[in-house]
């Protein structure tokens, strides 16, 4: 699988060889380095892109489907903690490298304190000292206050929908883990490295919920050649996690991923949560590059026939969402145990695991299927990651490097030819070249002018489309959210247990907690996927529009080059012209965005509306305005008190919904403007510049300056014989480099 890495290294070496030639040419020719600057810039871009080219593969699926085990099996050993659970989940990125290395990125103190403040706002015991009060966990008095608040929580505040309340777990984890991380975290993000024998210490964070909350990102480097080093495998959180932020983090990674592996457990089959998540992926527009792994637990199935029927059922259910899904059936745990036994011996497994492996090996119908499907899966994945993605990335690099090679060879060969002629013949050639340069300059200016106009047109189109998409009345996004808020109507009876009537302030907070959680889930499951899908469609539209507007200039560029070549042929100078298809290559969007560091706001930012909702003031306002109302019912019977409190809760929720609605509208208005000006407009400029460079780069390579070198020799500033000898040596070196590029191109076609 290291073909890609090897080819990248060959391209990097070729680039370094070109740089050395430029430096040599500047030394012997006396020509300013500015003359070679365009070619140098091209080489720097190629090398930066080669270094940054990364193919991302996301491994997703529900909790306990075996994702971590599957990733471990893929890398042939236990690198990830298996069965880490819900709360401790975080996107863990893995790449092959030189050694074992875990890079753990911690949140800053500001990020930690913002998390805690936002969580505290959902509990009635939280009463900030003033509106500008800022919680700081580093202060002992604030930690004491947080501890008292957590101790005051009732059972119904600690349990939400039959699971531990996410907010209470988050706050208690921050408090419990403080002493263990206080010397690590700083005012800015801190990256802690665990290498070699300390590598597995990263599990102390991912496997412990009181430390995992302090983690922002984890990247593992594994000493292995199983995958190319330009492939990143991400073990994502469970897609059915009760924490909406987990789903938002998955969406953030999926928005930049190139390929998705969805893991389904054979114990559960396809569930409603899977259908929801797959529908979300479809709405994001990223389902094309996706395959499914049914992770088989051999011990769960009575017979192979029953198992086969289950697989057929899963296939048919998947086909309802995605036509002709690519499905592979294998046992990740069986593969992992087998790989460890093969590479490290039986002692690498516990006695229990060794017995399980021996039992499975006796189930030939299961193991033979798993072995066949594992081989088929790895072959399929290799094809997807190399023949498709790699071919595109490397192909673009090779063609641009080939352009530099042809340009430099052209410069050396024509200067050599020119210096061998008499002054009259040389002067005529130079005058002819200048005439052609005027024509190419005219074409270049026309392309630039057209692109400048195209940018204005495309940006105007983008503005209209974005404004319509986020329109409060007619757009799906804002109208969907406002409709959800308006229609939200909880069961108020559920806030009263066994006839007890808790305090109104307490129940108002409980109502808001449930409301916010429901809205967060709606945004992550229904709104964010639509926005991601919309952005991807607009990306392609921008690329296609600018391509269509500049496509006619491909012919103009080729015609100008052909005319130049014919003019040179009259003087007996042969020029190798570029092929038409190489002139019209379309830039790769992901590579381009990476080069200009362009990203739109992540999915996790979608939920920032809640930081704007003044919950404390809101609930106090609702509470104090309802005191007189509640006093009137104190002498009523319990059943009447309950009825009146339900009405009070409804009134309080109405106030919450109104406040939330206003802040949601403000939040998404800001998001709309940000995505227009900071993302789409900048992307349009970047794509336009890429097309301009793509077309005009050929002019610089093939229509070169011959006047400077001849003038320097005529003015006796350079020795003609020395320059001729150096140009001959350069031609020989360039011939070797061009042959090397040709071999690289041939290797790519064989991938």
What pLDDT shows up at residue 156? Answer: 58
**Residue 241 scores a pLDDT above 80:** no
Which tens digit of pLDDT belongs to each residue from 538-579?
999 999 999 888 888 777 877 777 777 777 777 777 666 655
Angle between helices 552-569 and 528-550 (to 10 degrees): 40
pLDDT category of residue 140 using cuts at 50, 70 and 90:
very high
pLDDT category of residue 517 using cuts at 50, 70 and 90:
confident
**Residue 225 scores a pLDDT above 50:** yes
Lowest mean pLDDT among 196-200, 571-575, 678-682: 571-575
Rounded to 5 degrees, φ, ψ at 449 are: -65, -45
Q: For residue 383, what is the DSSP state?
A: I
Lowest mean pLDDT among 208-222, 355-369, 606-620: 606-620
Tokens at residue 736, please? Answer: 């070797």
Long-range contacts of 337-340 (CB under 8 A, 24+ apart): 339/73, 339/76, 339/77, 340/76, 340/77, 340/78
Rounded average pLDDT over 161-185 = 81
Give the end-to-end CA distance of the chain in Å, rounded to a whole number.
10
Tokens at residue 177, please? Answer: 């883990």
Which tens digit of pLDDT belongs to each residue from 116-133?
887 777 666 666 666 678
Dihedral sign for Cα 398, 404, 408, 410, please: positive
Question: Per-domain residue ranges for the chain?
Answer: 53-107+189-362, 429-706
Q: String of b and e for 143-171 (b: at least 16 CB within 10 Å)? A: bebbeebbeebeebbeebeeeebbbbbbb
Rounded average pLDDT over 28-41 = 73
What pLDDT shows up at residue 592? Answer: 80
Segment holding 223, helix H or strand E: strand 215-223
Q: Decide which of 413 and 583 is more confident.
A: 413
Report the relative pairing of strands 231-235 and 55-60 from DSSP bridges: parallel
**Residue 728 scores a pLDDT above 70:** yes
Identify which of 288, 287, 267 has the alpha carbon closest to the alpha carbon of residue 277: 287
**Residue 707 scores a pLDDT above 70:** no
Supply the mean pLDDT for the chain.
Answer: 81
Identify which of 163, 154, 157 has the alpha carbon closest to the alpha carbon of residue 243: 163
The residue count of the chain comes to 751
Identify which of 65, 11, 411, 27 has the alpha carbon closest to the alpha carbon of residue 230: 11
Identify which of 324, 240, 242, 249 has the alpha carbon closest to the alpha carbon of residue 278: 240
**Residue 717 scores a pLDDT above 90:** no
**Residue 631 scores a pLDDT above 70:** no
Beta bridge partners of 261: 59, 291
- Sheet strands (E) in 629-730: none
Which tens digit of pLDDT belongs to each residue from 273-291?
888 889 888 888 888 889 9
What gap in Å lies between CA 69 and CA 78, rounded to an integer?
A: 8
Identify which of 219, 3, 95, 52 has the alpha carbon closest to the alpha carbon of residue 590: 52
What pLDDT shows up at residue 521? Answer: 86
| CA dist list (Å): 181 to 86, 91, 185, 213, 394 | 21, 20, 6, 11, 43
What gap in Å lies between CA 292 and CA 304, rounded to an integer?
A: 20
Q: For residue 329, what is the DSSP state?
A: E
**Residue 348 scores a pLDDT above 90:** no
Rounded average pLDDT over 402-420 = 80
Segment holding 264, helix H or strand E: strand 259-265
| CA dist list (Å): 142 to 165, 173, 189, 352, 409 | 22, 15, 22, 47, 70
SS3 191: strand
User: What distance separates the 2 farthest-apart alpha carbons in the chain?
Assistant: 117
What pLDDT shows up at residue 431? Answer: 79
pLDDT category of residue 404 using cuts at 50, 70 and 90:
confident
Q: Decide which of 390 and 226 is more confident.
A: 226
Tell the residue number behind the tokens 């952005």, with chain if given: 535
What pLDDT shows up at residue 376? Answer: 95
Rounded to 5 degrees, φ, ψ at 383 are: -65, -45
What pLDDT shows up at residue 616? Answer: 45
Tokens at residue 183, please? Answer: 């010397």
**Residue 661 scores a pLDDT above 90:** no
Write down the CATH superfamily of domain 53-107+189-362: P-loop containing nucleotide triphosphate hydrolases (3.40.50.300)
Identify which of 223, 217, 676, 232 has the alpha carbon closest to the alpha carbon of residue 668: 676
What pLDDT shows up at residue 624? Answer: 43
Class of residue 667 by CB neighbours under 10 A (exposed 0-12, middle 13-18, buried 19+)? buried
In the sheet that holds 290-295, the strands lie side by side as 190-195, 101-106, 215-223, 92-97, 231-235, 55-60, 259-265, 290-295, 327-330
**Residue 380 scores a pLDDT above 60:** yes
SS3 57: strand
What pLDDT shows up at residue 564? Answer: 76
Which tens digit of pLDDT belongs to each residue from 302-335?
788 888 998 999 999 999 888 889 999 999 999 9
Dihedral sign for Cα 617, 619, 620, 621, please: positive
Chain CA centroid to CA 26, Å: 41
pLDDT category of residue 23 using cuts at 50, 70 and 90:
confident
Which tens digit of pLDDT belongs to each residue from 75-113?
999 888 776 454 445 788 999 888 899 999 999 999 999
């Amino acid at each position: 699988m290291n073909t890609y890495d090897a080819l990248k290294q060959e391209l990097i070496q070729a680039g370094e060889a070109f740089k050395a030639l430029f430096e040599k040419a500047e030394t012997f020719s006396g020509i300013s380095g500015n003359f070679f600057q365009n070619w140098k810039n091209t080489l720097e871009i190629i090398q930066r892109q080669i270094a940054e080219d990364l193919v991302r593969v996301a491994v997703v699926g529900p909790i306990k489907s075996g994702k971590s085990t599957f990733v471990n099996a893929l890398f042939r050993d236990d690198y990830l903690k298996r069965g880490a659970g819900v709360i401790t989940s975080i996107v863990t990125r893995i790449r092959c490298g030189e050694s074992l290395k875990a890079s753990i990125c911690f949140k800053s103190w500001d990020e930690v304190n913002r998390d805690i403040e936002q969580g505290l706002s959902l509990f009635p015991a939280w009463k900030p000292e003033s509106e500008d009060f800022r919680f700081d966990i580093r202060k002992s008095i604030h930690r004491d206050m947080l501890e008292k608040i957590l101790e005051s929580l009732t059972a119904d505040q600690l349990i939400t929908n039959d699971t531990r309340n996410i907010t209470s777990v988050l706050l208690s984890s921050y408090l419990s883990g403080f002493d263990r991380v206080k010397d690590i975290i700083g005012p800015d993000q801190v990256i802690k490295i665990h290498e070699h024998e300390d590598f597995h210490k990263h599990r102390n964070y991912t496997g412990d919920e009181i430390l995992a909350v302090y983690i922002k990102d984890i990247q593992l480097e594994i000493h292995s050649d199983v995958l190319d080093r330009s492939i990143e495998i991400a073990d994502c959180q469970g897609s059915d996690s009760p924490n909406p932020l987990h789903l938002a983090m998955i969406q953030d990674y999926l928005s930049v991923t190139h390929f998705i592996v969805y893991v389904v457990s054979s114990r559960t089959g396809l569930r409603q949560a899977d259908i929801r998540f797959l529908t979300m992926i479809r709405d994001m527009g990223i389902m094309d590059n996706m395959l499914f792994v049914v992770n088989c637990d051999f011990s769960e199935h009575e017979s192979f026939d029953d198992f086969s029927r289950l697989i057929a059922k899963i296939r048919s259910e998947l086909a309802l969402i995605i036509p002709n899904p690519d499905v592979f059936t294998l046992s990740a745990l069986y593969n992992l145990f087998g790989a460890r036994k093969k590479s490290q011996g039986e002692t690498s497994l516990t006695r229990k695991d060794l017995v399980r492996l021996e039992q499975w090996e006796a189930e030939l119908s299961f193991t033979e299927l798993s072995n066949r499907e594992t081989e088929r899966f790895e072959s399929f994945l290799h094809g997807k990651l190399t023949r498709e993605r790699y071919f595109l990335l490397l192909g673009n690099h090779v063609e641009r490097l080939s352009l530099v090679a042809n340009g430099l060879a052209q410069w050396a060969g024509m200067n050599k030819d020119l210096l061998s002629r008499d002054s009259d013949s040389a002067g005529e050639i130079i005058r002819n070249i200048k005439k052609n340069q005027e024509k190419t300059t005219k074409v270049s200016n026309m392309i630039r002018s057209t692109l400048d106009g195209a940018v204005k047109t495309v940006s105007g189109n983008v503005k209209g489309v974005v404004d319509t998409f986020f329109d409060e009345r007619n757009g799906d996004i804002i109208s969907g959210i406002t409709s959800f808020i308006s229609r939200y109507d909880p069961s108020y009876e559920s806030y009263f247990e066994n006839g007890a009537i808790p305090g109104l302030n307490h129940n108002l907070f409980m109502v808001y907690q449930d409301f916010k959680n429901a809205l967060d889930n709606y945004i992550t499951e229904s709104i964010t996927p639509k926005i991601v899908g919309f952005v991807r469609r607009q990306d392609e539209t921008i690329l296609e529009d600018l391509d269509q507007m500049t496509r006619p200039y491909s012919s103009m560029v080729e015609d100008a080059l052909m005319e130049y070549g014919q003019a040179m042929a009259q003087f007996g100078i042969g020029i190798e012209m570029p092929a038409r298809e190489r002139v019209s290559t379309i830039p790769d969007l992901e590579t381009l965005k990476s080069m200009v560091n362009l990203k739109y706001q992540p999915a996790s930012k979608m939920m920032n509306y809640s930081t704007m909702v003044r919950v404390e003031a809101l609930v106090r306002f609702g509470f104090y305005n309802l005191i007189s109302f509640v006093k009137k019912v104190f002498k009523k019977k319990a059943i009447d008190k309950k009825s009146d409190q339900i009405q009070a809760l409804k009134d309080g929720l109405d106030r919450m919904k109104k406040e939330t609605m206003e802040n949601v509208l403000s939040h998404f208005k800001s998001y709309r403007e940000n995505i227009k000006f900071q993302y789409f407009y900048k992307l349009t400029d970047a794509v336009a510049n890429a097309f301009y460079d793509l077309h005009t780069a050929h002019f610089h390579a093939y229509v070169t300056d011959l006047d400077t070198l001849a003038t320097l020799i005529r003015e006796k500033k350079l020795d003609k014989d020395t320059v001729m000898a150096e140009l001959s040596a350069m031609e020989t070196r360039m011939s070797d480099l061009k042959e090397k590029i040709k071999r690289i191109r041939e290797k790519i076609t064989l991938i």
